[in-house]
Chains A and B, each alone.
Chain A
Amino acid sequence: MRAVPSALPLTFFHRWGGPAARTGSLLLLLARPLAAQTAVVSGAVTDSAGAPIEYARVRAAGTNLRALTDGAGRFRLARVRAGQVVLHVDRVGYRRVVDTLAVASGESLFVNVTLAAAAFVAEPVVVTAAKRSQLVSQAITSVAVVSDTDLARRAVATVDEAVDKAPGVQFLNGQVNIRGSSGYVQGLGSRVLLLVDGVPANQGDRGGINWDLVPLQDVQRVEIVKGAGSSLYGSSAFGGVVNVLTRDIEPGVHASVRTRAGAFANPPHEVWRFRDYTGAEEGVDVTGSYGADALGASLTAGGWHSDGYREQDRRNHWQSAGKAEWRPDRATRVTASGSWASDQYETPLIWCTRGTCNDRGQTYQPFRIDTNGRGAFTRSDKGIVAATLERTTSARLAWQARGSWLRTHFIDYEPGNNDAGVANRLGAELRGLLHPSNNSLATVGAEGARSGVTSDIFGDHSQTEFAAYGESEQRLGGARLTAGARIDYIAVDGGGLSAVMSPRAGVVLPTGPDLVWRASAGRGFRAPSLAERFVSTVVQGLTVIPNPNLDPETAWSFELGNAARFSSTVRWDAALFWTEAYHLIEPRVETATSRIQFQNVTRARLAGLDLSVTVAPLAPRLTTALAYTFLYARELAHDSVPQRPLAFRPKHLLTLTADYQWRTLGVGGDFRYASRLERVELYESDPRVAEKVLDLRAGLAHGPLFLTCRLANALNYIYNQVPRTLAAVRTLSVTLTWTH
Chain B
Amino acid sequence: MTTSLRGATAFALAAALGCNKGLEPTPVPTTCPQGFVGVCGTVTFQGTRPDSTEGVFIVAYPTFPQSRNDLLSFSPFPPPSSLPQPFTGSQFYMLPLPSGRYEWVVAVWKRVGTFAPNFSNADSLLREAGFYRDGADTTSHGSGIVTVADGGANGISFLIDFGNMHSISYYFPAPPAH
Which residues in A have some Cβ–Cβ distance to B below 8 Å?
269, 271-272, 353-356, 359, 361-364, 366, 538, 540-543, 589, 591-595, 618-620, 622, 624, 656, 658, 669, 671, 673, 684-685, 687, 689-690, 692-694, 715, 717-720
- Residues on B with beta carbons closer than 8 Å to the beta carbon of A689: 22-23
Question: Of all chain A residues, which has the CB nearest B5?
Answer: A619
17 pairs across A/B with beta carbons < 8 Å? Answer: A354-B84, A362-B25, A363-B29, A540-B78, A591-B77, A593-B119, A618-B3, A619-B2, A620-B4, A622-B7, A658-B11, A673-B17, A687-B26, A689-B22, A689-B23, A717-B22, A719-B22
- Residues on A with beta carbons closer than 8 Å to the beta carbon of B77: 589, 591
On whether the beta carbons of B4 and A363 are closer than 8 Å, the reply is no
On whether the beta carbons of A543 and B115 are closer than 8 Å, the reply is yes
Given the interface pairs A619-B3, A620-B4, A671-B15, the reply to whether A594 lies near B72 with Cβ below 8 Å is: yes
Given the interface pairs A540-B78, A656-B14, the reply to whether A356 lies near B25 with Cβ below 8 Å is: no
- Residues on B with beta carbons closer than 8 Å to the beta carbon of A692: 17-18, 20, 22
Given the interface pairs A362-B25, A619-B4, A720-B23, the reply to whether A594 lies near B119 with Cβ below 8 Å is: yes
Determine the distance from Cα of A593 to Cα of B78 in the docked complex, in whole angstroms: 12
**Chain B residues bordering chain A, tally (CB within 8 A):** 39
Question: Of all chain B residues, which has the CB nearest A673?
Answer: B17
Q: Is residue B85 within 8 Å, beta carbon to beta carbon, of the partner chain? A: yes
10 shortest interchain CB distances as A-B pairs: A355-B84, A619-B4, A685-B96, A692-B18, A718-B22, A719-B22, A619-B3, A718-B23, A363-B26, A717-B22
CB interface residues, B 15-54, toward A, < 8 Å: 15, 17-20, 22-29, 36-38
Given contacts A353-B81, A685-B37, 7 further A-B contacts (CB under 8 A): A355-B84, A362-B25, A591-B72, A592-B72, A669-B11, A692-B18, A715-B15
Q: Is residue B117 within 8 Å, beta carbon to beta carbon, of the partner chain? A: yes
Q: Is residue B124 within 8 Å, beta carbon to beta carbon, of the partner chain? A: no
Determine the distance from Cα of A359 to Cα of B28 in the docked complex, in whole angstroms: 9
- Residues on B with beta carbons closer than 8 Å to the beta carbon of A619: 2-4, 7
Determine the distance from Cα of A693 to Cα of B114 in the docked complex, in whole angstroms: 42
On whether the beta carbons of B19 and A618 are closer than 8 Å, the reply is no
Smallest CB separation, A404 vs chain B (Å)? 40
8 Å CB contact of B96 from A355, A595, A673, A684:
A684
Determine the distance from Cα of A673 to Cα of B11 in the docked complex, in whole angstroms: 13
- Residues on A with beta carbons closer than 8 Å to the beta carbon of B140: none
- Residues on A with beta carbons closer than 8 Å to the beta carbon of B8: 658
On whether the beta carbons of A622 and B18 are closer than 8 Å, the reply is no
Q: Is residue B73 within 8 Å, beta carbon to beta carbon, of the partner chain? A: yes
Determine the distance from Cα of A269 to Cα of B18 in the docked complex, in whole angstroms: 18
Smallest CB separation, B61 vs chain A (Å)? 13
Which residues in B have some Cβ–Cβ distance to A below 8 Å?
2-4, 7-8, 10-11, 14-15, 17-20, 22-29, 36-38, 72-73, 77-78, 81-85, 96, 114-115, 117-119
8 Å CB contact of A685 from B10, B26, B36, B82:
B36
Question: Of all chain A residues, which has the CB nearest B82?
Answer: A355
- Residues on B with beta carbons closer than 8 Å to the beta carbon of A687: 23, 26
- Residues on A with beta carbons closer than 8 Å to the beta carbon of B37: 685
Max chain A C-beta neighbours (<10 A), residue from B20, B25, B29, B37 = B25
- Residues on A with beta carbons closer than 8 Å to the beta carbon of B84: 353-356, 359
Determine the distance from Cα of A717 to Cα of B114 in the docked complex, in whole angstroms: 40
Given the interface pairs A353-B81, A658-B11, A685-B36, the reply to whether A361 lies near B73 with Cβ below 8 Å is: no
- Residues on B with beta carbons closer than 8 Å to the beta carbon of A690: 20
Smallest CB separation, A589 vs chain B (Å)? 6
Question: Of all chain B residues, which has the CB nearest A713?
Answer: B18
Smallest CB separation, A727 vs chain B (Å)? 9
Smallest CB separation, A695 vs chain B (Å)? 10
8 Å CB contact of B78 from A362, A589, A671, A685:
A589
On whether the beta carbons of A717 and B18 are closer than 8 Å, the reply is yes
- Residues on B with beta carbons closer than 8 Å to the beta carbon of A538: 114
Given the interface pairs A354-B28, A361-B28, A619-B2, the reply to whether A366 lies near B23 with Cβ below 8 Å is: yes
Determine the distance from Cα of A363 to Cα of B38 in the docked complex, in whole angstroms: 16
Determine the distance from Cα of A471 to Cα of B27 in the docked complex, in whole angstroms: 60
- Residues on B with beta carbons closer than 8 Å to the beta carbon of A622: 4, 7
- Residues on A with beta carbons closer than 8 Å to the beta carbon of B78: 540, 542, 589
Determine the distance from Cα of A158 to Cα of B24 in the docked complex, in whole angstroms: 29
Question: Of all chain A residues, which has the CB nearest B37?
Answer: A685
- Residues on A with beta carbons closer than 8 Å to the beta carbon of B11: 624, 656, 658, 669, 671
Determine the distance from Cα of A385 to Cα of B80 in the docked complex, in whole angstroms: 45
Max chain B C-beta neighbours (<10 A), residue from A356, A715, A719 = A715
Determine the distance from Cα of A269 to Cα of B4 in the docked complex, in whole angstroms: 37
Determine the distance from Cα of A400 to Cα of B35 in the docked complex, in whole angstroms: 60
- Residues on B with beta carbons closer than 8 Å to the beta carbon of A669: 11, 15
Smallest CB separation, A31 vs chain B (Å)? 55
Determine the distance from Cα of A594 to Cα of B125 in the docked complex, in whole angstroms: 14
- Residues on B with beta carbons closer than 8 Å to the beta carbon of A354: 28, 84
Given the interface pairs A669-B11, A685-B96, the reply to whether A362 lies near B27 with Cβ below 8 Å is: yes
Question: Of all chain B residues, which has the CB nearest A622?
Answer: B4
On whether the beta carbons of B115 and A594 are closer than 8 Å, the reply is yes
On whether the beta carbons of A355 and B23 are closer than 8 Å, the reply is no
Determine the distance from Cα of A591 to Cα of B61 in the docked complex, in whole angstroms: 14
- Residues on B with beta carbons closer than 8 Å to the beta carbon of A353: 81, 84
Smallest CB separation, A468 vs chain B (Å)? 43
On whether the beta carbons of A694 and B72 are closer than 8 Å, the reply is no
Smallest CB separation, B164 vs chain A (Å)? 23
8 Å CB contact of B117 from A359, A593, A673, A720:
A593
- Residues on B with beta carbons closer than 8 Å to the beta carbon of A671: 11, 14-15, 17-18
On whether the beta carbons of A362 and B28 are closer than 8 Å, the reply is yes
Question: Of all chain A residues, which has the CB nearest B7?
Answer: A618
- Residues on B with beta carbons closer than 8 Å to the beta carbon of A624: 7, 11
Question: Of all chain B residues, which has the CB nearest A620?
Answer: B4
Given the interface pairs A361-B28, A593-B118, the reply to whether A693 lies near B18 with Cβ below 8 Å is: yes
Question: Of all chain A residues, which has the CB nearest B38?
Answer: A685
On whether the beta carbons of B25 and A271 are closer than 8 Å, the reply is yes
- Residues on A with beta carbons closer than 8 Å to the beta carbon of B28: 354, 359, 361-363
